[in-house]
Every structure is written in C-alpha cells, then in structure tokens.
Chains A and B, each alone.
Chain A
Amino acid sequence: EPEVTQTPSHQVTQMGQEVILRCVPISNHLYFYWYRQILGQKVEFLVSFYNNEISEKSEIFDDQFSVERPDGSNFTLKIRSTKLEDSAMYFCASSSTGGQWNSPLHFGNGTRLTVT
C-alpha cells in the first residue's frame, strides 16, 4: 500500500540553526499538510498546501516556518531559526482530495525534532 515517507526520523539541532524536514507524499495525492505534536500533547495543524501554494496556515506557522514542493515528489518544511519550543514530532500528511470531508489524511511516521 502506498505510504507517506518522512526523513529523517530523528533530527537533533542547536537553537538558532535551520532545519529542513523532508516528506514524500503518496504519488497521486494533491493536498499536503504539516502537523506537529509536542510530546504527549495534542496534534496541531501547521499548514496545508495545494497547487504549489499555501491554502491555510495556523498561528503557529509564523515567519520562521516555510514550506516548499521543490519537485514533483518532495514536500519540505523549513524552520529558519529553531527555538527550544520547536522540539516536537512533525508529521507530514497527504490527501487525495481537499475541501472535502470524506477522505482521510495519510500520515508519515514523523520526524522527531530535538532542539538543544
């Protein structure tokens, strides 16, 4: 069964450094998302992306965050200057439809980001 793949599985970085989290969504999916989950807490929406542009972003997704689909397969989340509070599990997800209520998001296994 097709799946969303994320790399790396774990990233350790120093405060103030830039990180890029990578995702390969399911190949025929058109809608892409990033979520984050601080340890033991709720899964929070960051951003949705369709047709090469952001369709929605949350308050968390401030100027230090950016997303890109540099080619036909990859979808990346960049954090420009990491803070301690950015430590979390970051999930990429994709969906075959958007603006619809009847299709699930398929999630990758996540990247655990640790900022020291």
Chain B
Amino acid sequence: AQKITQTQPGMFVQEKEAVTLDCTYDTSDPSYGLFWYKQPSSGEMIFLIYQGSYDQQNATEGRYSLNFQKARKSANLVISASQLGDSAMYFCAMRVFGDTDKLIFGTGTRLQVFP
C-alpha cells in the first residue's frame, strides 16, 4: 500500500531564512511522482513542485526545491528566503503508476513565517 508521512505538524521560520519540510513515502512501485501543494488560510490547493521517481536531478521551481533521496524514500521540500506569504499548510503527495491514478496526501505541515 502507498503511504505518505509528514512528521512535522508545525514549523516556524524567520523571514528570509530557509526551511525544510519533511516528507517520507512508501511504495513498492518503481514508477511514481511526488508533489508538494500549498494551502493558504483561504483554502485553495496550489501545486508547487513535482519530482519523478526516475528523475536524476532534484526538482527546483523558483524558491522551492525538492531534496529527493530515493534510497531513504524521502522528498523534503526546501523553501529558500522565506516570505511572510509562505505561511500556509504544506502537503506532500504521491501518485503511482498503475491501476490507480489518485493522488495520496500526507497529513500536512503548517508553516509559520515570522518577521
């Protein structure tokens, strides 16, 4: 069975600092994608970044990067130069190739950025 684990219910970071949000996953399928979504207090789900299981390089999108360690089954999100607007809930999610195409979510990490 596939599973996503986010062990940090909450994180604090000072503005302009970097922060790492942890995510570990479990699947026996060799083909899968890992995604991070941001959910601000307004409630919408915003796609941030994607990493494929066969990708050799870590994904980057602006201030977001994904620290993908396949052997450890981890896909941590790194936010550099945090901004006040980064305060939100962050969800790690996985999509597995095969007979199911749904996205499986972790429980989320609430990030608060303070001045």
Contacts and interface: CB of A to CB of B under 8 A. Distances in A.
A43 interface: yes
- Size bracket, chain B contacts: 20 to 34
Contacts of B50: 102-104
Given A91-B45, A104-B50, A45 B31 contact: no
Given A42-B108, A43-B105, A100 B43 contact: no
B102 A99 contact: no
Given A48-B101, A106-B47, A107-B44, A101 B108 contact: no
B101 A45 contact: no
A45 B103 contact: yes
A110 to B, nearest CB: 5
User: Interface residues of A: mostly helix, strand, loop or mixed?
Assistant: strand
Interface of B: 31-33, 35, 37, 42-47, 50, 52-53, 91, 93, 95-108
6 contacts: A41-B107, A99-B99, A100-B101, A101-B95, A105-B47, A107-B37
